[in-house]
Amino acid sequence: MNRSNPASMTIRRAGGAALSPAGISSTPFWFENLLDGGGDGDLAAIRADLAPGTITKWHSHPRGQLLYALSGVGLAQVCGGEVNELRAGDAVWFAPGEKHWHGASPHGTFAYLSVQLWQDGRNVDWLEQVEQRR
Ligand code: MN
């Protein structure tokens, strides 16, 4: 990937939502790329809007992930841990390589801001589907 974070102030206007690629979550969700990046240490940022019950597959991030809840009710679980409920204003840090999933509660939509760092051409490593959830 050759993209890198812009070398000067850049405003990306609202809009441009796209549906997530198949296979990374229980159902596709809408997202907007806020910042692309691609080089080691670059930032990638998205806003995601999930319908009730939509959750990601298990995955990890090579340099970690900050997830900031914008609205609704979300869920997040680290492998071997409890399912945590997330609400607007909550900020979650997933450490580099920490296996986890996140998504929307079955009872409500969930919107969040996600910030990840690139490493070796990727900012996420997808794993298997989540078999059990609350
Ligand atoms: Mn994640």
Question: In this predicted model, what pLDDT tens digit does every residue of 55-108 receive, in sequence order?
Answer: 999 999 999 999 999 999 999 999 999 999 999 999 999 999 999 999 999 999
Q: Report yes or no: 5 and 43 within 8 Å, Cβ to Cβ.
A: yes
Cα of 14 from ligand 1 centre, angstroms: 23
Distance 79 CA to ligand 1 centre (A): 12
Report how far ligand 1's centroid is from the alpha carbon of 108 (Å). 19
Q: 54 alpha carbon to ligand 1 midpoint, in Å?
A: 14
* 124's tokens: 């996420």
* 110, pLDDT greater than 90: yes
CA of 1 relative to ligand 1 center, distance in Å = 20
Query: Strand, helix or coil at 69?
Result: strand
The predicted pLDDT at position 76 comes to 98
Compute the distance from residue 21 Cα to the ligand 1 centre, in Å: 15
Q: For 6-62, what is each residue's pLDDT tens digit?
A: 999 999 999 999 999 999 999 999 999 999 999 999 999 999 999 999 999 999 999
Say if residue 53 is exposed, middle or buried (CB neighbours under 10 Å; 0-12, 13-18, 19+).
Answer: middle
**Residue for token pair 């801001």:** 113
Q: Measured in angstroms, how far is the CA atom of residue 10 from the centroid of ligand 1?
A: 25
Structural domains of the chain, ranges and CATH numbers in brackets: 30-126 (2.60.120.10)
